[in-house]
Amino acid sequence: MDRMRVRRAAAADVEAVGRAYAAGAQDEVVTAWVTEGYPDVATAFRAEHAPKVIERAVREDEVWIAGPGEEVWSVSVWHHVTAVDRYEAEARETAEMASRAQQMRPMVRLAAVTELVAQSHPREFPHRYLQSIVTVPEHRGQGAGAAILTARLPAAAEPVYLEASTQRSAALYERCGFVRTGHTLALPEGGPVLIPMWFRGRSPVPDAQTSAG
């Protein structure tokens, strides 16, 4: 097998990366909580929402991917943050969408997520926000997600912030140098408890090949 390769996704990668992101994110705990009991919404997430997220992120933010050769096993979305206006606007837009959808539960839950992110996002600027990192189910446990962190964190010129969605993922981030803030963010209706974390400069030990483009 080829060595794990980490690279920045470009416009030509959007279709393949969108498929990988949809596959990897569909059972992520926050997504699963939002779509719980609504299989049609889960299908729409995979077919419509996830590809649009990647298309926008490739155009406006940074999407870093990992896999052997040209394969896409893990996908990560990174924001450069200088203000919280973006997250506040997303929270307002999602709340309006929930209202138009007559308070359908998935939209209400999605609005709760965006509102929590907007309210709790740190006001320390500038920083990088690792908005999400997911791995295609059949390739989990093979180091693709860790390869992205190993490659990108030492290159970060600013602190990196994220919200881990499980204790297991938080433990992975800790091994890569992230530190918990000491507080958590609980979603309503028995939803996941998010774990805010910061990376402020300790380089992880493992190696990975990195290329931009």
Question: Among all chains, which residue has been given the structure tokens 């049609």?
Answer: 40
CB atoms within 10 A of CB 134: 24
Mean per-residue pLDDT over the chain, rounded: 93
pLDDT digits (tens, 9 = 90+) for 129-138: 999 999 999 9
pLDDT digits (tens, 9 = 90+) for 96-150: 999 999 989 999 999 999 999 999 999 999 999 999 999 999 999 999 999 999 9
For residues 69 and 205, the model is more confident at 69
DSSP result, the chain: -PPEEEEE--GGGHHHHHHHHHHHHTTSHHHHHHHTT-HHHHHHIIIIIHHHHHHHHHHHSEEEEEEETT---EEEEEEEES-SHHHHHHHHHHHHHHHHTTT-HHHHHHHHHHHHHHHHS---SSEEEEEEEEE-GGGTTSSHHHHHHHHHGGG-SS-EEEEESSHHHHHHHHHTTEEE-S--EE-TTT--EEEEEEE-SPPPSS--EEE--
pLDDT surpassing 60 at residue 18: yes
pLDDT digits (tens, 9 = 90+) for 48-66: 999 999 999 999 999 999 9
pLDDT surpassing 60 at residue 38: yes
Q: Which of 120, 176, 123, 182 is nearest to 149 (CA)?
A: 176
Q: Mind listing the domains of the chain with CATH numbers?
A: 4-211 (3.40.630.30)
pLDDT digits (tens, 9 = 90+) for 160-173: 999 999 999 999 99
With bands split at pLDDT 50, 70 and 90, how would you rate the model's confidence at 201?
A: confident
Give the pLDDT score at 2: 64
pLDDT surpassing 60 at residue 213: no
Give the pLDDT score at 202: 63
